[in-house]
Amino acid sequence: MEAADFDASADHYVYVLECADDSLYTGYTTDVERRVAEHNAGDGAKYTRGRTPVEVIHVETFDTKSAAMSREYEVKQLSRAAKKRLVGWG
């Protein structure tokens, strides 16, 4: 995904990454490009360290942090199969 794919009017994002080991990681941020760069630099979540490079495969936009954090929790509770359906992989 490119920066142009993100809703510029939104302030909060939930994203799903595909890691180098084919695992999926879900997170929250206010700046997707910066956050992905942090993950790839080894400064992101502990989970993604050693699983780089990571690639954004899904982004959802929200107007409030609360809504985004609630959605992040929901996505993190999904099974791998459900996450794959969410991102359009099956």
Q: Which residues pair with 62 in a beta bridge?
A: 12
Q: What are phi and psi of 15, to 5 degrees?
A: -130, 155
What domain range is 23 assigned to? 3-79
- Is residue 90, in this structure, part of any structural domain at all? no
**Is 14 contained in some domain?**
yes
- Is pLDDT at 89 greater than 70 in this prediction? yes
Residues 83, 30: Cα–Cα separation, whole Å: 21
Predicted pLDDT of residue 10? 75
What pLDDT, in 10s, does the model give residues 31-64?
999 999 999 999 989 999 999 999 999 999 999 9
Q: What is the mean pLDDT of residues 10-23?
A: 95
> In the structure, what pLDDT confidence band is assigned to residue 85 with cuts at 50, 70 and 90?
very high
Residue 88 within a domain: no
Does residue 9 fall inside a structural domain? yes
70 within domain boundaries: yes
Indicate whether 52 belongs to any domain: yes
The DSSP result for 16-54, as a single string, is EEE-TTS-EEEEEES-HHHHHHHHHTT-S-TTTTTS-S-
**Number of structural domains the chain divides into:** 1
Mean pLDDT for the chain overall = 92
Q: Encoding tokens for residue 25?
A: 């990681």
Residue 19 sits in a domain of what CATH number?
3.40.1440
